[in-house]
Amino acid sequence: MRITHVTDVFLPRLGGIELQVDDLSSRQLHSGHQPTVLTTTAPGADTADAVPVRRLGHGTAGIGPYRVVREPLLLRALRADRPDVVHAHISAFSPLAWTLTRLAAADGIPTVVTVHSMWHDIVPLVRRYARRYGAASWPVTWTAVSTAAAAAVQDALDGAPVAVLPNGIDPAAWLAPPAPRTGAAPTLISVLRMVRRKRPAALLDLLLVMRTVRPGGFRAVLVGDGPLLPGLRRRVAAAGAEADIVLAGALDRPAIRALLAAADLYVAPARHESFGIAALEARSAGLPVVARAGSGIADFIRDGTEGWLVHSDDDLRGTVESLLDDPARLTAVARHNRAVAPGVSWGTVLAAADALYDTAAHRQCRLPVHCRGQFVSPRNPSISYTL
């Protein structure tokens, strides 16, 4: 199957969507599909993509990875790939993905949209856009990466059905033998981008307060880069807390695996986490996870089983402190997490994506009961899809 993934942001820019689209398309390539990525993100100096990447908008106006590309050029680029299905990946701001979703659906190409962000704070804005262009009535299969994210998308689309297509992961790749414990204080870890919506400053506030009431009672490692990192490091230095709170910056996956194997508890402070891939990686490594209830993390963390779900920053602090005082609870959940793999894996995600592609093809056919054999696009006969 020829699959065109449409994403405004892509490698070498680093982020959740960029890595997830790269992983998904690479695994689809290895499973026998023919994926292509369509993006406006410029290549890096040493870019070497395993999956073909078509990068549009070079030399045009734009901000960051976003570029202004006229619709006729977008449609020509899309038709040049002759995709059997378009899979568009949308965040809070994705002009390329929104436009190509509309063009692909109107051109008769089976189209799946996956929303990777929590829209709760921007539902009115997205609803106005969706109503203006009639997005809820497009022949598109809508999905989001978690139950919580899907609820906001459905709200923005005035009740249109929205399925869940979670992010993929290889749980076994994260399950390493636990590092030997030396009797030192327990280690808390969080892997997050140092941007406002991930709330690293709120997490640091919590850690600094805890450090004053239980000096030497824990060690914390925060992994990730972003514009807030320099200021956070200055705060740690001003508090003289460098020995207890480590801001490690960006690390590669092997280094993160090693840190997870040596940690005791994973903390996810974001209120509106659409999925929480780093939390799932930590849970796959055997770590108990403390996260916010109502976020995407609640799809794979059950309160009291794989970790704990909290409702406020005060609740977060109280839960973490109670766990530091009762290490047996941490040990019990860690034992469960190491023994029972999460239900989300690349195998289940790839199978779900294939099923959604079939659903999108049937929707374009508009005859789901009688449509069988070879689907031919009513708008573009050069596009066909075997049902």
Q: Transcribe 50-95 into DSSP letters.
A: SS-EEE--TTS-EETTEE---HHHHHHHHHHH--SEEEEEE-SS-H
Nearest one of 161, 254, 246, 245 to 209, comparing CA atoms: 245
**pLDDT of amino acid 68:** 87
**pLDDT of amino acid 183:** 65
Residue 115 has pLDDT above 50, yes or no: yes
Contact 264, 287 (CB under 8 A): yes
**pLDDT of amino acid 385:** 42
Band of residue 234 on the pLDDT scale cut at 50, 70, 90: very high
Helix axis angle for 313-325 and 327-339, nearest 10°, is 100
Residue 365 has pLDDT above 80, yes or no: no
Instruction: List the 265-267 sheet strands across, edge first.
Output: 245-249, 219-223, 187-191, 265-267, 289-292, 307-310
d(CA 244, CA 186): 11
Structural domains of the chain, with CATH: 2-168+346-382 (3.40.50.2000), 171-339 (3.40.50.2000)
Most trustworthy range by pLDDT among 48-52, 341-345, 363-367, 383-387: 341-345
* Residue that wins the pLDDT comparison between 59 and 50: 50
For residue 49, give Cα distances in angstroms to 24, 87, 282: 13, 18, 27
- Residue 289's H or E segment, with its range, is strand 289-292
Three-class SS state of 99? helix
Residue 369 has pLDDT above 50, yes or no: no
Q: Which residue is associated with the tokens 């056919």?
A: 365
Backbone angles phi, psi at 128, to 5 degrees: -60, -45
Three-class SS state of 232? helix
Band of residue 182 on the pLDDT scale cut at 50, 70, 90: low
